[in-house]
Amino acid sequence: MKTKLIDTLNGFFGTVLVPVFETTAKNLIPIQFDGLEISSKVFYGKKDAYYLAEKNNNTYIFIGLGKTIDYKALKNAFRRIAFKEKESFTKHVALFLPEKFSSEQVEATISGLLLGTYDLGHFKNKEQHPFLNSEFELEIISTKDHAEVINKSIKIARAQLEVLTLIDLPPNMVTPNYLAKWAQDKGNKYGFEVDVLGRETCEIESLQAFLAVGKGSENEPQFVIMKYEPKVTSPKTKHVGLVGKGITFDTGGLNIKTSGMVHMKCDMAGGAAVFGTMQLIADLQLPIKVTAIVPCAENSVGSKSFLPSDVIQSYSGNSIEIIDTDAEGRLVLADGLSYMIKNFKPDYLIDIATLTGSSVATFGYECGALFSNNEVISKKLQDVGETIGERLWPLPMWDTYKSDIESDIADVKNYSGKRVAGAISAAKFLEFFTENHPAWAHLDIAGVAFGDDEYAKSKHATGYGVYLLTKFIENL
């Protein structure tokens, strides 16, 4: 999407988008814009409402914002318009930006419009959204120069659109090899280094916990390592390590899932968030060094599948008793965390994963579960999440939960076997492999990465985590 600043609508013919803050249904003064008057009896700017009008061959879409509006609601309001009213858009579309709009509100507006081009029907014959036409140019009506913010907004949405597609494409397409190739292509395009360790190299490196998960699948696991460095570095340049769960499909293994398996293409949403974050930070040229690892594997059922009660080794040198093969995400993350710490030594370490149904049972679909041994990082992640509508809330990691992962036969077991505190015991398992890293956080996003909304009839990706991680890194 390209944009152009214009002063007035003189000589403009097309569709005009006009955000309106709420007045009141009893307001005697109509909403006025470009010679149009809209009576408060039919529209007064109520949140989530919009009103179409025509004058002089122009279509005007008035978009209600309510009396106040947060970032997420504003982004969704414009995504809704772009998605549901695309037949109203011609080759010429103008967006009016109120003078009182902050930079954050401009960002939410532009990102929302571009996100509205996303359509779940990847394999349907359909017309391309007008905004995606290479010649399309959004005309901005504003008294301020928002060029820098608008450019950033487009980059944010572009990364999120990539992640939506990665998660929503079917698992017979998005295999571990597909993700590895995606990372290499984006690394070449945006400027970050990508190394991919295949099965043989992973065996040499002793990434045994990671390899165990993919043993039952004919799709070879891929251990994807990405490195971004700013053009100018110094001894004070901060270094962030990201680890994302990249399970391209999760049958549960031999502890096969009895329900909900149809949605398990989303089990790589944490890894997808990391992929999108790497694209975005490189696109934005953030002045912070970032290393990311996404262990990509398919947890399938086959003659070589790992078994409940197996004891496997890990990159850290610790042995793991397998209680449940459906607790596989923590196994690939364990090796990812250990590999990150030993080989790259980041100042900050964050892992993100659709890890447990327990986090969904706790929070529903409103926020991700946050675990951290560092209160400063925990608070920063929460604040960033609140600002952009990607919420997190902390759960405890008291040592009393260590007993949930104690094994009689191995150094640790991968599942407590209990129906309670599942998200916490999973976090304690991961903590075991962090070597007491002083600035670590674990994000369990099982309830917020994939869900229902107005943009499709079936569950689909949300894009959660891309901007959350990027904005956290940006604000370090």
CA distances from 362 to 121, 240, 447 (A): 32, 29, 9
Q: One of 47, 181, 257, 402 is an active-site residue; which one? A: 257
Q: Compute the distance between CA of residue 50 and CA of residue 38 in angstroms, rounded to an integer.
A: 12
**Are 94 and 16 contacting, i.e. CB atoms less than 8 angstroms apart?**
yes
Does the active-site annotation cover 419? no
Token duo for residue 373: 């041994």
Does the active-site annotation cover 330? yes
Q: What count of other Cβ atoms lies within 10 Å of the Cβ of residue 237?
A: 13
**Are 42 and 88 contacting, i.e. CB atoms less than 8 angstroms apart?**
no
Q: One of 289, 330, 391, 428 is an active-site residue; which one? A: 330
- CA-based nearest residue to 273, from 357, 366, 211, 354: 354
Question: Identity (one letter) of the amino acid at 366?
Answer: E
Could you give the residue numbers annotated as active site?
Answer: 257, 330
